[in-house]
Structure 1
């Protein structure tokens, strides 16, 4: 599987855009904003429904990936990016910071 470092994910298979390639993708701070979930079914997001996660990724990636790029990416790259979302979507235990909060410090 491709490499993950904090909120940065190195793709196994780069996304090709015209004359350039995207080799790594970052999950941006937009994931911490409720607006990034607008119009999405939270149960589907929590269950890692592929369509819901793909829509969410279009809103929270840098460089911003398109729906078409996400739909055509290698399956392991998609799964790796989806895994990066998990710490932001899991509430911390009472009195503890979640992984996403501690990584951004």
Structure 2
């Protein structure tokens, strides 16, 4: 058991460091295959107003599937296509949606959320 604990600790520490280094990167619970590429992690960038066109912000804040599926392909790297989004594990979809919601909050709102 000691060996397992010792090997797990560095892995957990590395994961925490990676999360701080790339807070907008979501490691997928269930990787998605796009052609020959297996997508295991997706990095999102903050959308510009034009990339939110046709989307009600309230629908994003409510984690509506259609809204998340419309916005994420516009701001993801590697780019997730419509079919990729349809094949996502629901837990991965929620994780991506959570990052998108974070982009919509002001610094003050994020601070209030984190302190409460």
Residue aligned with 2:108, SS: coil
Gaps of 5+ in 1: 100-105
Cα deviation, residue 53, structure 1: 1.1
Query: In angstroms, what is the RMSD of aligned CA positions?
Result: 2.0
Residues in 1 aligned to 2:57 and 2:96: alpha-carbon distance in whole angstroms: 18
Larger radius of gyration: 2
Cα deviation, residue 91, structure 1: 2.3
- Structure 1 or 2: larger helix share? 2
Aligned length: 92
Where has structure 1 moved over 4 Å in runs of 4 or more?
none
Q: Does 1:21 align with 2:41?
A: no
Counterpart of 1:47 in structure 2 is 62
| Aligned ranges 1:1-105 → 2 under 5 Å | 5=19, 6-29=23-46, 31=47, 33-93=48-108, 98=110
Gaps of 5+ in 2: 1-14, 112-116
Residues in 2 aligned to 1:42 and 1:18: alpha-carbon distance in whole angstroms: 32
